[in-house]
Chains A and B, each alone.
Chain A
């Protein structure tokens, strides 16, 4: 299975600030995905991070709020900007191993905005 590491694992942030979450994969992957899981809810896809091009955002998510970087084939960051308490969620990155069907996930970043 792929090893996906996320940092930080949790954080408590003040409203109005920004947090950048890092995701590192142990092998090169074409696509990486960022999901949000709000309290008591299931996972919702935020965007697809493609190396060498802009991220593709799902309906309801915009680049100004969730800027994404993908500098190489093993790394991506998601920034949650100008945070409000409604942004309190678990954020997860996901990546499929090249040529595999299975999706693997990082351990998640638990964000609390106060």
Chain B
């Protein structure tokens, strides 16, 4: 049974710092991995999608990497800003043919001005 864990559970950093959020999964047979942002009480915004054959994806100040064999993904946020404060969720999609996602426990990020 696939389990997805995120470390740390919460993180508080000063503005401008570069930071890394970690996501690990127990079953390496994934189709893809997606990182989401969730603001308090709101829905999910897709940040980056990494296919199982890819190693990393970049969008602006965000970079996500994937090491499928070791069951790990990292989300790197450069030059963090107060507007980055949110909960970050990773989710893995199981084998091709299904769109079911297993979500991680989330990292609650606070960037201090």
Question: Could you tell me if A42 and B43 are in contact, using CB atoms closer than 8 angstroms?
Answer: no
Question: Could you tell me if B105 and A42 are in contact, using CB atoms closer than 8 angstroms?
Answer: yes
Question: Could you tell me if A42 and B103 are in contact, using CB atoms closer than 8 angstroms?
Answer: yes
Distance of A48 Cα from B41 Cα, bound (Å): 23
User: Does more than half of chain A's interface fall in helix, strand or loop, or is it mixed?
Assistant: strand
What's the count of A-B pairs with C-beta under 8 Å? 57
Query: How many residues of chain A have a CB within 8 Å of chain B?
Result: 24
Quick one: given A33-B100, A92-B43, A96-B99, are A101 and B105 in contact (CB under 8 Å)? Answer: no
Q: A33-B101, A104-B46 are in contact. List 15 more A-B contacts (CB 8 A).
A: A33-B100, A42-B104, A42-B105, A43-B89, A45-B100, A92-B44, A94-B101, A96-B99, A101-B93, A102-B34, A103-B46, A103-B99, A105-B45, A108-B42, A108-B43
